[in-house]
Amino acid sequence: MRNISLKADTLIGSEIIKLGNEINQKIKEGQSIYNLTIGDFNPQLFPIPSLLKEHIVAAYQNNQTNYPPPDGIPELKKAVKAFLLKNEGIAFADDELMIASGGRPIIYAIYEAIVDPNDKVLYPIPSWNNNHYCHLSDAQRIEVETTAEEGFMPSAKSLAPYLKDVVLLALCSPLNPTGTTFRRAELEKICDLVIEENKRRAGKSKPLYVLFDQMYWMLMADGIEHFNPLSIRPEMKPYTLFVDGISKSFAATGVRVGWGMGPAEVIGKMKSIIGHIGAWAPKAEQVATAHFLNDEVGVNTFLNELKLKINSRFDKLYTGIEAMRAEGFPIQIIKPEGAIYLSVQISILGKKDKQGKLIESTAAITQFLLEEAQLAIVPFTAFGCAAGTDWYRISIGTLNEADIPDLLLKLRQALSELT
């Protein structure tokens, strides 16, 4: 006999948060661990823009503490629209844009506005949280496995067989957990498939929508360009729902300001959903974000500095791990393309540690890295991949750059003791 709903009883909490909390507890108990699990920033290493902070403080001093409009204050919506038009070349009307408390409520609202019970949702794996949003919306999951050779990005060919059966295709670029991105040609092919499928449906059934999570689009690695469906195929506008905001691009994960864009009919329903659950962004933070986005020099200065810090960490980790691979260590890494993540494969299944214990599962790899290298990273099983994967996400937002040589040394020593 259950005392709670079936949905609540079968809901799985965030595996990443659970792992991160367990590691943080070990650190509090005095253990020395490099905790690179949570996709967050250490604000001591990556503070929010000083100008944004000043605007937040000023907004509170000016008593901007009452309810904001459920879909966002007009000043912020205007600033976001101007920012997107200037930097991505995509235009939206007021009724095609909404503000919320970060990206998560917007993703939830997209699912709730589009997906009926037993509707099918398609997404690639590894993928962040789509399995949980499917559970919350009673959707049927269709998961398409990707490969390291593809940079873990889905191809049009892999998605094509399923598009006629689904109402929502969930995509993300730069991708959490891999830090890889869509190339223009492949995204064009996917968009063309979506356009053709919607022509086939032609009002006879619910459209095929694309959830496009681009929360990391301003954090591209050197030489990598971001593409979105609308900028390369304007015909995608009636079918594309964007997820965006300041959480990652301005190291402002705790400030909780995000925005969603899409067709007015869907955005209107999403506004109602957000209004009912009260997941609007705090008013003072909205006022401050509007001021900050309008400061082109301040935004660009901060982004340049942030990307320098991120890319420096990327380069040092990539170079160090590539050197280990070249020496024959069972490890490989994908060259960083964006976001704050690196994808690393640690191929030690079937090996024995220095105590002679056989490493025979993903969990055993994770435990080995924690105990022998003091390294906590997230296995791709937390992103939908099957047990037995040896691919991991490294998140660099909490990594002190000065610690990288010691981190690599400990990893090298741990791997060298395997037999």
Domains and CATH numbers, the chain: 6-46+300-414 (3.90.1150.10), 50-299 (3.40.640.10)
Mean pLDDT score across all residues of the chain: 96
pLDDT at position 28, please? 83
pLDDT at position 13, please? 80
Q: What is the pTM of this model?
A: 0.96
Q: Which amino acid, 307? A: K
User: Residues, the chain, total?
Assistant: 419
pLDDT at position 173, please? 98
User: Whole-angstrom Cα distance, residue 126 to residue 382?
Assistant: 8
Report which of 39, 35, 56 is spatially closest to residue 310, judged by C-alpha positions: 39
Q: In sequence order, which residues have a C-beta less than 8 Å from that of residue 131 and are 6 or more positions away?
A: 141, 143, 384
Tell me what the mean pLDDT of segment 399-415 comes to: 98
Residue 14 pLDDT grade (very low, low, confident, very high; cuts 50, 70, 90): confident
User: Whole-angstrom Cα distance, residue 393 to residue 340?
Assistant: 10
pLDDT at position 80, please? 98
Tell me what the mean pLDDT of segment 386-401 comes to: 97
